[in-house]
Amino acid sequence: MTEAPPASLPYAPLPYSPAPELSGGPVRRWPVVIVGGGPVGLAAAIDCSLHGIPALLFDKDDRVSDGSRAICWAKRTLEIFDRLGVARPVVDRGITWKLGKVFHGDQLIYSFDLLPEEGHKHPAFVNLQQYYVESDLVERARQMPGVETRWQSRVVGLSEDGEGVVLEVESPDGGYSVAADWVIACDGARSPLRDMLGLDFVGKVFQDRFLIADVKMAAAFPTERRFWFDPPFHPGGSALLHRQADDVWRIDLQLGWDADPEEERQPEKVIPRLKAMLGEDAKFELEWVSVYTFQCRRLKRFRHGRVIFAGDSAHQVSPFGARGGNGGVQDVDNLIWKLALVIGGEAPDSLLDSYDEERILAADENILNSTRSTDFITPKGPGAQALRDAVLSLSAEHDFARRTVNSGRLSIPAKLTGCGLQTPDDASWAGGVAPGAPCPDAPIEDALARPAWLLDRLGGAFVLMAREEDLASGNVRDAFPGIRDLAVLGIAEAGEALRSDSGVTDVSGLLTERFALSPGSFYLIRPDQHVAARWRSFDPKKVRQALARAKGLDATHLREIA
Amino acid sequence: MTVGGVNRDDIYEALVGLHHGLDAEQSLLVSNRLILLLAEQIGDRDAVLQAIEAARLPDPVDRKRG
Ligand SMILES: Cc1cc2nc3c(=O)[nH]c(=O)nc-3n(C[C@H](O)[C@H](O)[C@H](O)COP(=O)(O)OP(=O)(O)OC[C@H]3O[C@@H](n4cnc5c(N)ncnc54)[C@H](O)[C@@H]3O)c2cc1C
């Protein structure tokens, strides 16, 4: 797992300079300190900057992630990356795909299309090596005002002093301490911060081993996810083949619990296995080879006072379904706007408990799906094995069995339905986007008739969305003079005149259809693009109440508004 | 014996017949195929879960279920 990285990879050391604290410079107290510069910590730093919060990020290493790690980035992550300003390089360099095929033996039993409909800015999935994604995030973080990144800086101690947190840091030039109001622990699955707080990380280890190889080859395989149960080239095990950027392919081969991990990662073992799969004459180079055992675990709570866990430090999943990194990026999307409101004094600190509620719900969904997939791929005991094999044997003929075949239920965003910040519907809706669900994208045209996307207009702040005519007749733009963080977005039909510069046109009708945006409908949308509330008619009091509720203001505040 | 239109002896005979000439591994496979087909046919999650509960073996003393 830790051979020298190939020279072609973006492994230039990240810049290090001695911390100002070491030369008697001013010791400032940071509103936010982020521990860990993986995808989750870096995304958090960028999002803090977008919300105007200065953030200091520590990482113990001076390089982006090496080895075989995340490759599949889901549509929701790309949408969040777009808000953070890093979607472009990820999508441009990445491999766009949406088709998957599952084989039993050499028979194709099931294929799926993850994004069967048009009218979304981002594809269902992009495959890109984690080191590229991290490089893009590092570059973006460097541009962001108020973000400071300190590489080769390991956090080794943590204490709380009533008002905040003090972190002990070790760097090549010595140790020092830093004070923070809030700490976001993004220090990965082995999280030292978790240990410093004495927190348990409980769950399930799957008794199986997987060979994960990243292989460079000019191959003519299609750009789709291919998964085999019991293929002729690897009898009795499962196999996965998936394309990454630069002609690198991810190959997973199931080895079984009895395999010796040290032996199995030796080229003399690996190359014959790969040749059996790719053909005797296939030309390839090994970029990385590892043998993994997978697990699904999480912290009981993600928020511990002023220390908040996000990403793999909070929850770990097996990779079938690509829910690890994608889930972690959604943690950030959920957390930072809340933290910004709390830091700005606009919301009580209990708003952060909703991060626990919402992201534990999401983590449990990810753990459930990843566990089910791994249990299907790695049946435990003879009974489970026989049942699994029965599903596969029925799948050629029976649709229900094909749908039961589970090679990974790929990451989709959690619907935060029923969580406390959302206001439940007070009228019946035929379709549309229910409170808690993330907004779907749709093509639009801006006031200058330029093509754009709905999600470009949502996010960062609360948005009240309705039809242009309803905004005008309700004098809605004048109804909220005192609420500076509520933007209003008017939607016009094709051909209808816009009544304000901030209005947009639903040229294709897809927006109206996806939101069931009939006359009189209003949506209140959170800074993370999830729906907070919706109504069939406009009532400024209800909007104010829903907004207060979405900010975690308690019953007293709600009564004042009412 | 027929109760409510179901002739249990017919069904039992057909079930036994399914295993005719099979070894233990094949029997296990065919049983599982049948279970999956029946569960799909019933199509009622609660009814299926109820039957699964009814089928469960009593807890061995040293192994808690869960
Ligand atoms: C084989 C495999 C395939 C995967 N495939 C996918 C996929 O396709 N899609 C997907 O979304 N996810 C996938 N994942 C999961 C994904 O890699 C992780 O979920 C993701 O890396 C988590 O990001 P993170 O930022 O939370 O943690 P990490 O990426 O682990 O980053 C943690 C960071 O914290 C730093 N750190 C640790 N301790 C300290 C300390 N004391 N002081 C300072 N810094 C510290 C580390 O140096 C590291 O940079 C896969 C994982 C594996 C193993």
* A13-56: pLDDT as tens digits: 899 999 999 998 777 899 999 999 999 999 999 999 999 999 99
pLDDT at A2 over 60: no
The tens digit of pLDDT for each residue in B25-60 reads: 999 999 999 999 999 999 999 999 999 999 999 876
* Per-residue model confidence (pLDDT) at position A561: 60
Establish if B9 belongs to a structural domain: no
A325 CA from centroid of ligand 1 (Å): 7
* Per-residue model confidence (pLDDT) at position B2: 60
Mutate to test the pocket of ligand 1, among A187, A252, A309, A320 (most ligand atoms within 8 A of CB): A187
Q: What residues does A105 pair with on adjacent strands?
A: none
Element (H, E) at A505: strand A504-506
Interface pTM, i.e. ipTM: 0.86
pLDDT average, residue stretch A189-216: 96
Residues of B in contact with A390 (CB under 8 A): 29, 32-33, 35-36
Candidate from A383, A393, A400 with C-beta closest to B33 = A393
A316 CA from centroid of ligand 1 (Å): 9
Strands (E), A206-284: 210-216, 225-229, 238-243, 248-254
Cβ separation of B32 and A386 shorter than 8 Å? yes
Residues of A in contact with B24 (CB under 8 A): none
Ligand 1 lined by A326 (C-beta under 6 Å): yes
DSSP state string for A8-55:
TSS-PPPP----GGGGT---PEEEEEEE--SHHHHHHHHHHHHTT--E
* Per-residue model confidence (pLDDT) at position A9: 63
Q: How far is Cα of residue A309 from the mean position of the Cα atoms in its chain? A: 14
**Which atom of ligand 1 is found nearest the CA of A127?**
8
Residues of A in contact with B36 (CB under 8 A): 387, 390-391, 394, 400-401, 404
Q: Which of residues 368-387 of A touch B (CB under 8 A)?
A: 382-383, 386-387
* Per-residue model confidence (pLDDT) at position A482: 57
pLDDT at A111 over 80: yes
pLDDT at A127 over 80: yes
Ligand 1 lined by A155 (C-beta under 6 Å): yes
Cβ separation of B36 and A389 shorter than 8 Å? no
Establish if B15 belongs to a structural domain: no
Cβ separation of A389 and B32 shorter than 8 Å? yes
Nearest alpha-carbon partner for A131 in A89, A186, A174: A89
pLDDT average, residue stretch A62-87: 95
User: B52 is in which domain, residue-wise?
Assistant: 23-58
Chain B residue closest in CA terms to A400: B40
* Per-residue model confidence (pLDDT) at position A371: 95
pLDDT tier, B63 (very low <50, low <70, confident <90, very high otherwise): low
Residues of B in contact with A404 (CB under 8 A): 36
Entry pTM:
0.94
Ligand 1 lined by A321 (C-beta under 6 Å): no
* Per-residue model confidence (pLDDT) at position B66: 42
pLDDT tier, A81 (very low <50, low <70, confident <90, very high otherwise): very high
The tens digit of pLDDT for each residue in A240-249 reads: 999 999 999 9
- Provide the shortest C-alpha distance from residue A100 to chain B (in Å): 24
**In the predicted model, what is the mean pLDDT of chain A?**
93
* Per-residue model confidence (pLDDT) at position A502: 82
* Total number of domains in chain B: 1
* Per-residue model confidence (pLDDT) at position A6: 54
The tens digit of pLDDT for each residue in A499-510 reads: 888 899 999 999
Establish if B51 belongs to a structural domain: yes
Q: A156-190: string of b/e by CB count within 10 Å (b at 16+)?
A: eebeeeeebbbbebbbeeeebebebbbbbbbbbbe
Categorise residue A138: left if φ over 0, alpha if ψ from -120 to 50, beta otherwise: alpha
DSSP state of A122: S
Cβ separation of A393 and B28 shorter than 8 Å? no
Establish if B38 belongs to a structural domain: yes
pLDDT average, residue stretch A407-435: 95
* Per-residue model confidence (pLDDT) at position A1: 38
Tell me the three state secondary structure of residue A85: coil
pLDDT at B8 over 50: yes
pLDDT tier, A329 (very low <50, low <70, confident <90, very high otherwise): very high
Q: Is A391 on the interface with B (CB under 8 A)?
A: yes
pLDDT at A307 over 70: yes
pLDDT at A97 over 50: yes
Does the domain formed by A20-92+127-202+297-373 have CATH 3.50.50.60? yes
pLDDT average, residue stretch A217-245: 94
Ligand 1 lined by A327 (C-beta under 6 Å): no
pLDDT average, residue stretch B12-34: 95
A373 CA from centroid of ligand 1 (Å): 21
pLDDT at A161 over 90: no
* Per-residue model confidence (pLDDT) at position B61: 61
A259 CA from centroid of ligand 1 (Å): 25
Establish if B13 belongs to a structural domain: no
pLDDT at A7 over 60: no
- Provide the shortest C-alpha distance from residue B63 to chain A (in Å): 15
Candidate from A393, A400, A401 with C-beta closest to B29 = A393
pLDDT tier, A10 (very low <50, low <70, confident <90, very high otherwise): low
Q: What residues does A29 pair with on adjacent strands?
A: A179
Per domain, the residue ranges of chain A are 20-92+127-202+297-373, 443-561
Atom 53, ligand 1: residue with shortest CA distance: A69
Distances A187 to A144, A294, A315, A413, A415 between C-alpha atoms, Å: 21, 18, 11, 23, 26
Residues of B in contact with A401 (CB under 8 A): 36
Does the domain formed by A443-561 have CATH 3.40.50.620? no
Structure tokens at A489: 């977005």
